[in-house]
Structure 1
Amino acid sequence: MPLKTAGNIAVIFAGGHGERFGNSDIPKQFHELSGKPVIVYTLEHFERHDKIDGIVVVCVDSWISRLRRMLEEFRISKVVEIVPGGATAWDSIFAGLGCATKYFSGESVVLIHDAVRPMIDSGTIDRNIETVKRYGSCITCYPMTENIMGNRPNGMTAISDPGELLIVRAPQSFFLNKIMAVYEKARQEGNVPFRDCCSMMSHYGEQLRTVTGPAENIKITFPSDFLMFENMRKVTDL
């Protein structure tokens, strides 16, 4: 793909092994439902979106060759490169962003998404792109509906009204040059790793805008989450 002056690129994080998913030699993003791996369901949302110009996948090193075969089998053509994951998720995403700079200019919008969030929708992708272009950032969230308590040494303590809280999800989207600059600053100052990109951007004073994603846009972390995905597939066209 030739260098573009600007575009919209998805960086898909598939670098984890999913230790909390259970005893398995297969990373959770490669578990199959109806003969199709979870990561492929995720990639298809970006592949089919007319505003996405390219995809970078950060993958478990030992699974890269198998992922290439999956891309061919399921006709995923927008992936410009697959890069191996780093020691942490934070390092892995930095590697993916660095790869994106080879194909897209700094004015491009980058959407950072988890391979194990296969229940994203096109409207959320649209709103991420539009919000970044207007405000410079976009964090996909979902309203907190249950009460939250803090587990303190002296007992449980109420944190806040649930109506004031948001569950942070993905995509988390920014201008490519902006997030690369903040990543570089964090690395130079030794402030690594952050839990996610929005935590890092907030730490360095960046104003963050949010959009509400679909309720089902969960991260598949435990076997029960995979069961939820399976059930959602039966009643929707996700």
Structure 2
Amino acid sequence: MNVSLIFAGGSGRRMNTKGRPKQFLEFRGKPIIIYTLELFDNHSEIDAIVVVCLRNWIPYLEKMLRKFEITKVKAIVSGGSTGQDSIYSGLKAIAENFSLDSTVLIHDGVRPLITEDTISENIECVKEHGSCITCIPATETFIVSRWDGSLNIPSRSDSFIARAPQSFILSDILSAHKKSLQENRHDFIDSCSMMSYYGYKLHTIIGPMENIKITTPTDYFIFKAMVDVHENQQIFGF
């Protein structure tokens, strides 16, 4: 089984929105998270979707799922105190309904510009290697500050930026989360950081540059522009 875990538990403080979290901001009458969910719902290889959502917004999300005819969402669970805890809540819901050898694609609800090909490549990479981290090439120079005050500048050609989906075998990612709980660690920035920390070998694919996370107002305007570009490509063929 291929199950997507969509994280929509953030409050969106950096968006400076009033009244609703960023994942529920609308463009042309459709919330951002619905744009994201449609891509997974329409993908032929995705069998089910689990969403982690802010508790108070679950009824609204359920209403939007009905309105936009999203059919593959099998569970909506409330988030935890950190992003890591929220993802673990979603993983437990998946484990209650699907086998531990399922492939789980962990994706941000506010990354609505993912492509069908990238989803397919994640599934294939996990089948072959056991994990898949969607990345983009580094386009600027990284400077890493070390504990002793010195600076390290990695080669740009060897550097990548991790994005999403980040995909794993369910049993592996659950095991890593359980280890972190035993160590009382709740501060992993994302799933690939956790998996790397606990010794899992990670494999990567290159995803589309436009697969941005909508975090700031600038990101939102880029998203709107990219939706227009995609529609023009479909209508006019350019």
What range describes the TM-score normalised by the shorter chain of this pair?
over 0.9
Taking the aligned partners of 2:34 and 2:119, their CA distance within structure 1 comes to 17
Provide the secondary structure at the position in 1 that maps to 2:113.
Answer: coil
Taking the aligned partners of 1:186 and 1:156, their CA distance within structure 2 comes to 30
- Which residue is equivalent to 1:200? 194
Provide the secondary structure at the position in 2 that maps to 1:131.
Answer: helix
- Which residue is equivalent to 2:111? 117
Taking the aligned partners of 1:191 and 1:153, their CA distance within structure 2 comes to 21
Asked whether 1:8 is paired with 2:2, we answer yes
Using structure 2 for the length normalisation, give the TM-score: 0.93
- Out of 225, 228, 231, which is 1:234 matched to? 228
Superposed counterparts of 1:73-88, under 5 Å: 73-88=67-82
Identity %: 50
Using structure 1 for the length normalisation, give the TM-score: 0.93
Deviation at 1:157, TM superposition (A): 4.2
- Which residue is equivalent to 2:48? 54
Asked whether 1:104 is paired with 2:98, we answer yes
Q: Show CA shifts across 1:13-60 (max 9, x none).
A: 000001111142210000001110000000000000000000000001
Do 2:145 and 2:152's aligned partners in 1 also have CA atoms closer than 8 Å? no
Q: What is the Cα-based RMSD across aligned positions, in Å? A: 1.8
Relative to structure 2, which stretch is displaced further, 130-139 or 150-159? 150-159
Structure 1 runs (4+) deviating above 4 angstroms are 150-158
Deviation at 1:193, TM superposition (A): 2.3
- Which residue is equivalent to 1:188? 182
Unmatched 5+ residue regions in structure 1? Answer: 1-6
Q: Which amino acid aligns with 1:85?
A: G
Unmatched 5+ residue regions in structure 2? Answer: none
Do 1:41 and 1:118's aligned partners in 2 also have CA atoms closer than 8 Å? yes
Deviation at 1:161, TM superposition (A): 2.0
- Count residues in correspondence: 232
- Which residue is equivalent to 1:45? 39
